[in-house]
Amino acid sequence: MSYLSKLSARLAMRPPYTVLASVAAAAFLLAGCSDQSVTDPAPPASENPAILTATQETLLAQGLLRTVPLSAPVVVVKTLSSGGGGITVPGTDFQLQVPNGAFAGKSLTFTITALAGNVVAYDFQPHGYKFLKPLRFVQQLGHTNWKDLKLPAGFQPDWNGAYFADQSQIDLLTGTAVVNELLPANVNVSGATLTFPIPHFSGYMVSSGRR
């Protein structure tokens, strides 16, 4: 049984207040291990009540899966001026869109890593950086299982962007994850595209369902 399966089973057997404490503690430990060279992001839930956080409830999410898994991580490094621009990750159908005035200073170097495996998930650096304007996560869905979803028992369909503090929170084969935040996503059915805003870094995946 995988780490996430064992964790989910243990959480399901505990009283609600114990589950919340466990998840909050896990989130605290993960945050403590993250890169502290950049200002930690302010909790977005206070700014947007639609964003669910691990301090409010247990967030178990099912990641969208690729029809052909990535055999190795795909890394792109690009420096953008304060005028913004787009960063495309080859072979993943993904683009990060950065608006004008999203960050202070004349330029910022971005590092995007598409995680190896089945799940549509990415690591973004600099870790912990919070933006003056939200960035836009744009994922083309043509090479994913979005039309043939098979969610785990007890999960409900719900399209979101899912923030994770560390990639160890995700089972990269099944896509099941313990996540820190869910951000409502927009799915364009005719264009087979999913988008959601990114207020801060570090990791995000496309979530097709949650429990």
Bridge partners of 85? 98
In the predicted structure, residue 6 carries a pLDDT above the cut 50: no
Residue 108 pairs with which residues in a beta bridge?
80
What pLDDT, on a 0 to 100 scale, did the predictor assign at position 51? 59
How confident is the model over 42-65, as a mean pLDDT?
63
**At residue 112, does pLDDT exceed 80?**
yes
> Which of the pair, 156 or 17, is modelled with greater confidence?
156
pLDDT band at 49 (very low <50, low <70, confident <90, very high): very low
pLDDT > 80? residue 70:
yes
The answer to which of 23-37, 128-142, 143-157 has the lowest mean pLDDT is 23-37
The pLDDT value recorded for residue 53 is: 60
Please say if the pLDDT value at position 24 is more than 80.
no
Q: Bigger pLDDT: 21 or 129?
A: 129
Rounded to 5°, angle at Cα 190 from 188 and 191: 65
Instruction: State the pLDDT confidence band at 95, using cuts at 50, 70 and 90.
Output: very high
pLDDT (average), residues 176-190? 96
| 7 has a pLDDT exceeding 50 | no
Instruction: Locate all alpha helices (DSSP H) within the chain, ordered by sequence.
Output: 3-13, 16-33
Count CB-CB contacts under 10 A for residue 91.
11
A 10 A CB-CB count for 30 gives: 17
Q: What are the pLDDT digits (tens) for 115-147?
A: 999 999 999 999 999 999 999 999 999 999 999
Q: Give the pLDDT of residue 15.
A: 43
Domains of the chain, first to last: 3-35+52-210 (2.60.220)
CA dist., res. 202 & res. 35, Å (int):
10
Q: What's the average model confidence in pLDDT over 15-30?
A: 39
CA pair distance 24, 180, nearest whole angstrom:
9
pLDDT for 29 equals 36
40: pLDDT strictly greater than 70: no
